[in-house]
């Protein structure tokens, strides 16, 4: 591994730990709003009829999504790219670019939903029948574009990154749950992408998503903790 300053290691470690906590906060807030029925997010009439307080919770959930599943992961990817740039070579370069793409599409999807929920809900509440129908259609289109477009496209990107980085970590002597969880995360992302191509496999796609949002934050927490231990 290429040498990394203690301050950079510490920053990466705490980014991973806080990212894992924010990611779990995202899951909790979304479940609170949807009462466990996350399909309602894709329906404009359901989302735009929510009380203002619940809409705020959903928006905070999207904010936590950005600070959980995306920006900290970019920090982790950059740290690992620097650490393994000599041994990973061009594959490592492609892996970090893949995670840059992951961050862009992920933040874009969350930010769109965060930004438009209140304005569309206001239009839905104040407008006539035509305005309500237009607002509902707009939200439905944005939600589908985010969750079944931008976020869906993350699948092969994370699978590629996890495969390259998992190999490098194993070669560097990392063992145990960190490697297992990274492998599971990568393959579940990949299967999430694959199953999303077939409407009949929507149930399996949702299962892969559930595994990802539970396992990936745990990997981040363990990874950050391990980095801090290596500073001792």
Within-domain flag for 206: no
Low-confidence stretches of the chain (pLDDT < 70) are 1-2
With 0.75 as the threshold, say if the pTM is over it: yes
What is the per-residue pLDDT for 2? 64
Asked if residue 170 belongs to a domain, the reply is no
Does some domain include residue 105?
Answer: yes
pLDDT for 8 = 92
pLDDT in tens, 127-186: 889 999 999 999 999 999 999 999 999 999 999 999 999 999 999 989 899 999 999 999
pLDDT of the residue at 7 = 92
Q: Structural domain tally of the chain?
A: 1
**What pLDDT, on the 0 to 100 scale, is given for residue 230?**
84
Q: Is residue 108 part of a domain?
A: yes
Domain hosting residue 108, numbered range: 6-153+217-231
46 within some domain:
yes
The span from the CA of 127 to the CA of 170, in Å, is 58
| 165 occurs within a structural domain | no
What pLDDT, on the 0 to 100 scale, is given for residue 4? 79
Does the residue 161 lie in any domain? no
Is 183 a domain residue? no
């Amino acid at each position: 591994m290429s040498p990394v300053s203690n301050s950079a290691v510490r920053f990466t470690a705490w980014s991973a730990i806080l990212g894992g906590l924010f990611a779990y906060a995202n899951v909790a807030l979304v479940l609170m709003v949807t009462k466990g029925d996350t399909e309602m997010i894709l329906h404009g009439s359901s989302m735009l009829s929510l009380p203002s307080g619940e809409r705020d919770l959903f928006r905070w959930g999207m904010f936590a999504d950005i600070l959980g599943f995306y920006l900290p992961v970019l920090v982790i990817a950059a740290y690992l790219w620097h650490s393994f740039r000599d041994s990973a070579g061009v594959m490592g370069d492609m892996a970090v670019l893949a995670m840059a793409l992951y961050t862009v599409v992920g933040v874009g999807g969350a930010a769109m939903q965060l930004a438009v929920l209140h304005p569309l809900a206001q239009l839905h509440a104040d407008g006539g029948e035509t305005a309500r129908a237009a607002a509902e259609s707009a939200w439905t289109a944005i939600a589908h574009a985010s969750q079944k477009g931008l976020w869906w496209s993350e699948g092969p990107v994370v699978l590629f990154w996890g495969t390259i980085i998992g190999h490098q970590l194993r070669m560097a002597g990392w063992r145990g749950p960190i490697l297992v969880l990274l492998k599971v995360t990568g393959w579940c992302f990949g299967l999430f992408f694959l199953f999303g191509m077939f409407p009949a496999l929507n149930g399996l796609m949702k299962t892969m998503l559930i595994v990802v949002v539970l396992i990936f934050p745990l990997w981040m927490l363990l990874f950050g903790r391990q980095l801090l231990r290596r500073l001792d």
